[in-house]
A and B are shown apart, each in its own frame.
Chain A
């Protein structure tokens, strides 16, 4: 007598379970297309170039935070030599006026929850 059938069936079930996340993702349950961001219409250039901002905006914001709160510096000189006021609600939101259409889009996609807006207030008129 052989257990060949049971073993093969068991293996198939095991493999199906182990590889389930792959099938699930391929099944298209989650939309994996990149978020559609609303870009500012009245400005073409961010404080740094787009690739840098996409990858490092969180570090830049931390630098700005420390500079403003701890050292009392307000002026940022970008790598191209332009001067900007270091302010999340003043400078960033001045162009990216709708944070739900910009910040939140990406943060939801990346499943990160920065606490900026727990305290910071969107300027009126946005």
Chain B
């Protein structure tokens, strides 16, 4: 059939409309497939921790964990609660899991101390808000890292974190770090400085050398503390942490927010 000017223009217009509708859809489909699921598929390793609340009830177990971490990272002990700096600490069950506590929760469980720390979320809200890239999620192992060199102390991340896992240095922390018997800092780990935000890094410096985090190592040494904290790679089905997760009923903090916490609790 002979192509008339009119039919050619009609086909061209239809093609144009089709293309302009198709491209955005195609783009959306591509980005959706990129951000598919939990995002765990993109990283080779995803470190995670399981906290067995029953085993952490013992005072010496959770204290050993906190002390080991704070000693290892030169975390200051600031008496003023409004300015305190914490990497890992114990909080009452009903405050850690407000959405799990109800009128008939066991009385002794409500006030039970639960170890809390940075959840190293799959979709960390702190990372989304950081204006300088001072905090980011490492692609290789899923650790939500801090770069103290880049932190400008705006505290957006603190406002964004739903777990209160971040602390701000309102003052020079060095003088508040508990010194060892020689009057020196207990560790070679860099202290932080006034005006930066800090938090647990899953002991990134130890993971680098293939060691377990300081808290996990410390609780295992306390009598009755074995298995209180389990740490490992959840993408590896044969890892200890995967086994513990498979065999126990575990809960996470504020799952409904969609941050994808990587610290799990056995109640």
Contacts and interface: CB of A to CB of B under 8 A. Distances in A.
B188 A121 contact: yes
A101 to B, nearest CB: 20
A124 B188 contact: yes
Interface in A107-121: 115, 118-121
A74 to B, nearest CB: 7
B190 interface: yes
B193 A118 contact: yes
Interface string B172-205: 0000000000001101111111000000000000
Interface residues of A, number: 13
B188 A70 contact: no
B-side interface size class: 10 to 19
Contact of B190 (A70, A119, A124): A119
Nearest to A88: B190
A97 interface: no
B201 to A, nearest CB: 11
A123 interface: yes
A1 B144 CA distance: 84
B74 interface: yes
Given A72-B138, A74-B208, A119 B148 contact: yes
A89 interface: yes
Contacts of A72: 138, 140, 208
B102 interface: no
A89 B149 CA distance: 16
Given A65-B149, A69-B147, A70-B147, A121 B140 contact: no
A118 to B, nearest CB: 4
A121 B148 contact: no
A65, A70, A89: which has the most chain B beta carbons within 10 Å? A70
A87 to B, nearest CB: 10
A121 B149 CA distance: 15
B97 to A, nearest CB: 34
Contacts of B188: 89, 121, 123-124
B187, B188, B192: which has the most chain A beta carbons within 10 Å? B188
A74 B140 CA distance: 15
B191 A119 contact: yes
A119 B190 CA distance: 5
A93 B71 CA distance: 23
Contacts of A115: 193
B140 A119 contact: no
Contacts of B140: 72
Contacts of B184: 124
Interface string A60-98: 000001000110101000000000000001000000000
Interface in A18-48: none
Contacts of B145: 69
Contacts of A69: 145, 147, 149
A119 to B, nearest CB: 4
A70 B133 CA distance: 10
List the 7 closest pairs (A to B, CB-CB), nearest first: A119-B190, A118-B193, A120-B190, A69-B147, A121-B188, A119-B193, A123-B188
Interface of A: 65, 69-70, 72, 74, 89, 115, 118-121, 123-124
15 contacts: A69-B147, A69-B149, A70-B147, A72-B138, A72-B208, A74-B208, A89-B188, A119-B148, A119-B191, A119-B192, A121-B74, A121-B188, A121-B189, A121-B191, A124-B184
